[in-house]
Amino acid sequence: MLKLDLSKVSPFLPQDYVTSRQAKLEKAASMLSSHSGPGGEFTGWVDLPRDYDKEEFARIKAAARKIQQQSQVLVVIGIGGSYLGARAVIELLASPNYNLKKKDTPDIYFAGNGLSTDSLLELIALIGDRDFSVNVISKSGTTTEPAVAFRIFKAMLEEKYGKEGARGRIYATTDARRGALKGLADAEGYEKFVVPDAVGGRYSVLTAVGLLPIAAAGIDIDALMGGARLAMEELSAGGPENPAWQYAAARHGLYQAGKKVELLACYEPPFRFFAEWWKQLYGESEGKEGKGLFPASVEFTADLHSMGQYIQEGERLMFETVVKFAPKGQFIIPNDPDNVDGLNFLSGKPLSFVAEQAMRGTILAHVDGGVPNVLIELPAIGEASVGYLIYFFEYVCGLSGHLLEVNPFDQPGVEAYKKNMFALLGKPGYEDLKAQLEMRL
């Protein structure tokens, strides 16, 4: 399903850049498949498209139908991997304008991913008097941003529907055995879904974490999982011909050759939040021990008129990975008798033809400017192609982390800001750190 073109990378790397890393790639692939090595306990995502919990999957679909019948709005509360994957898939498959479209499914809003008062008040105003439900997603239930948001929306539900009515509108996706949210969900009788122990947050989009909001949006999660399973099966065969191995080797080779930034580019505007999900996946997985490519993203062709100058002639510290989907439909450019814009040479041609040539011309220009380009081509945007791409990027990320010799499945650096924030907020137990920080401030 996925075609990988590395021809515009090869001039920047030795000819044997894949085979020279074959032993390391074999070891990395073995660690992923055997769930061993650094972070091996968090590699449950590797077999997930085949071994997912079928009973819970059925409950997810049933809960999604209930939400669709009961509510005009679903508020999804989570941060990082607890919301980016769902939003990425919904915007890519159902449109960034999903909430503006006429549909039989609820509007879906995301909360608990920041601390902006203005954004919170705007969201409450957008819900208005409409019936709504909440899907709160947190393994612990104590992460500040989603915990604060859940307090607010839980109180709103209870005020609107009473405690009993609110109970039937709250869906908790959390740890199977422990944690504050698990305890509250048990005590209150919320319907619960599991954040698997063996799947870290940024790899969790194909678990209940992502699947419940995605299904509530009317997206076919069976087809989504089917695409991911196809990727799992195709990428499990190792060797230099494996596109995941090739891409991981190219990324590692370019990094060792001095490239420090990977720009993910796509010519489809709905891809924006998929790129945000990708940035967390790679940034949290590789960025540690003073190592790792910095993941960034651009939206073409729009950013060719803004960031294009830097990409073409700025510091030669980056390479691009371009994702190209086949178009779903066709739009023919009309003829203009006056030809004011001088574009009648395009009359009668599909708009997709213009986009194709823009992409090809851009790749050549950027390569000539010293920016290697990886091209990933897929069929039209759909559940199967998106599921395949999710798994492809996850698998390459696991390989890449092991090539860097870091643990691709932990995120110790994320805790630093949390400790400082807790101290400055006056959380009990942080008194000494609070005093130290206030002196520095």
Active site residues: 284, 305, 418
Burial 251-278 (b: 16+ CB within 10 A, else e): bbbbbeeebeebbbbbbbebbbbbbbbb
401 close to 277: Cβ distance less than 8 angstroms: no
The CA distance from 414 to 417, in Å, is: 7
User: In 3D, which of 20, 29, 19, 3 has the Cα closest to residue 400?
Assistant: 29
Burial 123-151 (b: 16+ CB within 10 A, else e): beeebeeeebbbbbbbbebebebbbebbe
User: In 3D, which of 34, 92, 90 has the Cα closest to residue 64?
Assistant: 90
* 267: Cα separation from own chain's centroid: 17
Neighbours of 46 (CB within 10 A): 26
Strand order in the sheet with 170-174: 107-111, 73-77, 132-137, 170-174, 191-194
Token pair for 79: 């941060």
The CA distance from 170 to 153, in Å, is: 10
**Quick one: angle between helices 243-256 and 22-34, nearest 10?**
120
Amino acid at 285: S
The CA distance from 47 to 193, in Å, is: 19
What is the secondary structure of 289-315 as a DSSP string? TT--PEEEEEETTGGGGTTHHHHHHS-
Neighbours of 332 (CB within 10 A): 12
The CA distance from 182 to 166, in Å, is: 17
Burial group, residue 420, by CB count within 10 angstroms (0-12, 13-18, 19+): middle
* 201: Cα separation from own chain's centroid: 10
